[in-house]
Amino acid sequence: MLADMLILAALLSRPMHGYEIKKAYDQTLGGLVTLHHNQLYPALRRFEEMGVVRREAIEQQGKPNRHIYHLTDHGLSELREMLRDFPHAIARNDMDFYVRFALFGFLEPEDRVKILQTRIQALQSLILEKGRYQKYLDSPIVGKVQPYVEKLNAFNDQRIRAELEWLARMIEQVQFP
């Protein structure tokens, strides 16, 4: 789903061939995610069958045709629907949130607020979840890892609290630009 959103988002700016899509995809989150050819081309074929993209073959002398992909109106609608589909179960996943946030420009303010609120709820439930780190402490190698696991858990709690503060500021900015 993340790959699908980023592939379609790459085509929003202009029609592109496969390598350009891959390059745009890889740059979207500053290199945080990369796209492999074995993901890209099957997705483009699937999108073409769904009417989400249109493929145009450009003849080249002495070379195979170059395929240029165009995002259709249906594709834009599908992308927006994918972005809005952000249930609590996936709202805990950082990358799912980061991709949606990076593509907020394609959503209406009320959709942005809903995504931010869902992320807040997911992070708050994570903080309140009792015993979420206990599985690490129950490890048979607990003596050697416990101090480091505890430091990592404390850091993660701090990161979540900082993100919750940031999300509250983002809601204000989205509601009152």
pLDDT tens-place string over residues 130-146: 555 655 566 666 666 66
Q: Residue 2 in contact with residue 94, Cβ under 8 Å?
A: no
Rounded to whole angstroms, how far apart are CA atoms 26 and 28?
6
pLDDT at position 111 is 95
Q: 133 by DSSP, 3-state: which?
A: coil
- Cα–Cα nearest to 28, from 112, 109, 103: 103
- Please give the average per-residue pLDDT across 75-94, as a whole number: 95
Q: Which contacts qualify for 169-173: CB closer than 8 Å, 24 or more apart?
A: 170/116, 171/113, 171/116, 171/117, 171/120
127 pLDDT tier (thresholds 50, 70, 90) = confident
Phi-psi region of 31 (alpha: psi -120 to 50; beta: other; left: phi over 0): left
- Cα–Cα nearest to 68, from 4, 5, 14: 14
Could you count the other beta carbons within 10 Å of the beta carbon of residue 166?
Answer: 11
Q: What is the pTM of this model?
A: 0.83
150 pLDDT tier (thresholds 50, 70, 90) = confident
